[in-house]
Structure 1
Amino acid sequence: MEFRGFVAVKDVTLSVNEGSIHALIGPNGAGKTTVFNLLTKFLTPTRGQIVFKGADITRMKPAEVARLGLVRSFQISAVFPHLTLLDNVRVALQRPSGLATQFWRSSNTLAALDERAMELIDAVNLSSYADLPATELSYGRKRALEIATTLALDPAMLLLDEPMAGMGHEDIGRISDLIRRIARNRTVLMVEHNLNVVADLCDRVTVLARGEILSDGSYDTVSRDPRVREAYMGTEHE
């Protein structure tokens, strides 16, 4: 991916195995978010090809790849703060249910989504907060709500952009457990700076530096790579 002659991502060959939790790590400016934007079609690559489940999605639009089952979250929590948790998830469910543009339908029609919405809220351990406005949630629980809304799209692959950013220890443990549960029947690719989380959760780790892949393999493998320690992990532990 080039921006006016600057190569932000170069020769990145990334394979994510179905059913795995895969981390994309590296120092600031390594190109991680650019890769996410390429995979979810917020950017179109200057060169190269992106294939998802056997389909070439290189020139597709973001909504098209989302409908294929490739869904992302963002670094900043994106929920409707003044809607209840139940309403937030119902909004997310309207698209796969075919109700997103049918504004003339009665509220009773939307109520048909309540059972599935509550299942998703329960899946992220927020049942006791279902009738509260999202603005009253802690930051960590807002991130859990955001995951519930992305799960409403029934993704085959979930891309999580720094899911632990800004969280305290208790929230990190809660969201880690949640990611582990939701990954039982789907693929997860995550950008994450917390190396303890990466070591605990991820089956495979790809390290980027200056837009290129520096190392790839298990956490133990990449953490022993002297190039990785120099570029990223060494400074983290020091």
Structure 2
Amino acid sequence: MMANVSAHDAPARPRAALSARGLSKSFGNFQAVKDVDIDIRHGRIHALIGPNGAGKSTVFNLLTKFLQPSAGKIMYGETDITRMDPAHVARLGVARSFQISATFGDMSLVDNVCVALQRPNGLAVQFWRPLSSLTRLRPRAMDLLDRVGLADMADHRAADLSYGRKRALEIATTLALDPRVLLLDEPLAGMGQEDVETMAGLIADVARDCAVLMVEHNISVVADIGHDITVLQRGEILSQGGYAKVSADPRVREAYMGTEDDD
């Protein structure tokens, strides 16, 4: 277990920052998601897990509006975002990791974060200006790099980072948008154990300031930092609750627990 990031120390659950009711999606005659209810709350990490073909990616894409639901409602706080486009939802404060996670390999870490800081600082339409024009954003960029443990590498090329550190840089560029809801698709995939522990701790820290949903394979990490867990099977909710509850559910154990095989 990773020290100081346990989900069991969390306070009582706050109001949902992002929620869905009756969320469903059909592709022709195939129903990929059926009647999913989910609440993603501020200051908490909500893990979405399930076996191959469970519908996790579809739910993820529905919540971030890259897919339109066939039925159901999606709320961002008190705002109905069911029919909004992804760009509008992102501007409201909903960020998905691989929507904005691409880094510029030939640029320094600090310049990568400065570029990401342009929109919240009103500079998004000034993309043709030289990087030197972003100098005033550097102090905030350095703060974000420090938060993800990369401040001492601020002037290194992003292309020279290890895989785990590239993912940390992606988190920093995501945080530059000051999101209220952060959705992470397999944030630990492909990492060695040391990087997994570092990134899990970082995600736990980030969740203190926003609501986090993550699709994740690594059950030990879900057990350590996940406050709320939704288990999907064939597009429907199989079990939902804390790790102790879902891991004790015999249906979950049969369908998923104890395996590392996932989509």
Q: Percent sequence identity over matched residues?
A: 65
Matched, 1:91 2:115: yes
Q: Is the 8 A contact 1:157 1:186 kept in 2?
A: yes
Q: Offset at 1:182?
A: 1.1
Q: Offset at 1:18?
A: 2.3
Match of 2:185 in 1: 161
Q: Is the 8 A contact 2:47 2:226 kept in 1?
A: yes
- Bigger fraction of residues in strand: 2
Distance 1:187 1:231 in 2: 27
In structure 1, runs of 5+ residues without a counterpart are: none
Match of 2:46 in 1: 22
TM-score using structure 2 length: 0.86
Secondary structure of the equivalent of 2:208? helix
Q: Is the 8 A contact 1:57 1:65 kept in 2?
A: yes
Q: Where in structure 2 are the equivalents of 1:7-86 lying within 5 Å?
A: 7-74=31-98, 78-86=102-110
Match of 2:257 in 1: 233
TM-score using structure 1 length: 0.95
Distance 2:191 2:260 in 1: 18
Tell me: CA distance 1:226–1:96, structure 2 relative to 1, closer, same or farther (3 Å): same
Matched, 1:116 2:145: no
Match of 1:207 in 2: 231
Q: Is the 8 A contact 2:113 2:176 kept in 1?
A: yes
C-alpha RMSD of the superposition = 1.7
Residue deviations 1:48-67 (CA, integer Å, cap 9, x gap): 11001111001111111111
Secondary structure of the equivalent of 1:12? strand
Residue from 173, 178, 191 that aligns with 2:202: 178
Distance 1:168 1:82 in 2: 25
Tell me: CA distance 1:203–1:168, structure 2 relative to 1, closer, same or farther (3 Å): same
Amino acid at match of 2:152: S
Amino acid at match of 1:184: R
